[in-house]
Amino acid sequence: MSRPIFTGSAVAIVTPFGADGKINFDKLAEIIDFQISNGTSAIVICGTTGESATQTLEEHAETVSFAIRHTAKRVPVIAGGGSNDTMAALYLCQHAEEQGADGLLLVTPYYNKATQKGLVKHYEYIADRINTPIILYNVPGRTGCNFAVSTYAQLAKHKNICGVKEASGDLELVSRTMVATADEEFYIWSGDDKLALPMISVGAQGVISVLANIAPRPVADICEYALAGDYIKARELHLKYFEVMDAMFYEVNPIPVKTSMNLLGMDVGNLRLPLCEMEDANLAKLKTALSGVGLI
């Protein structure tokens, strides 16, 4: 059986913007280095947390290229390549593959959604035309589109589809998918920091984390302990940081995590509209959560 692209904690890294509103590549290099030096196992670039939805295709491609060059194979780079347009997704995937991405993260089609048959056709069309491993991304709360276990089982048979980032919050779906894909080289990663520990306990390989942007070492340690079977230490850290995990979603991601990074002096710039600054009440709660674990 092939090995997963990564185990442990991968950061769904933010995209820093400068005062001019353009992508700040110097800052992106700095935060990539910060992640690698603090135990992060992989960099996920241009995902939801990276505000890919408000980037032009040119910006998206440039950001992926930069992240791959700067990371320089120190850890795997997984490039976001999803779209509600199959041809646009294929373009992004082919570009990332040409640049040397180690993996591709493809969210389910949003807004127009898809039937289960449509999901199979969408992913197989792309997987037939690239060689880089694809991680499916299930986040129905954002896309309005959810995977069925039988669809996972069918897609798991494709040689270029290696697993899924599961952010449905449905632990029964995760367990049933583990059973249905047991004979395939198909891996599951949590798409939610709060569920990383319970998902690892039933066989997930780790997490694609929002919290890791501000607390990379604790998230890496939770995964390391859990994957080694030391659930006592994993649980201690999980519970210590649980309120901060929750705080990352006081408002829609990545508003809280980018706000947190700026509060911590990481200077990642503003959000792009329609995302905007936090409401005062939520900001106060966020500061309390951060101070509760000594981050501020």
Active site residues: 137, 165
Distances (CA, A) of 74 to 205, 224, 275: 19, 18, 32
Tell me if 66 sits within 8 A of 28, measured CB to CB.
yes
* Tokens of residue 58, six digits: 């040119």
Largest CA distance in the chain: 51
* Tokens of residue 197, six digits: 């520990």
Quick one: which of 52, 61, 156, 182 has its CA closest to 107? 52
Q: How far apart, in whole angstroms, are the C-alpha atoms of residue 149 and residue 180?
A: 7
Residue 181 CB-density burial (10 A; 0-12 exposed, 13-18 middle, 19+ buried): buried
Quick one: which of 257, 215, 219 has its CA closest to 238? 219
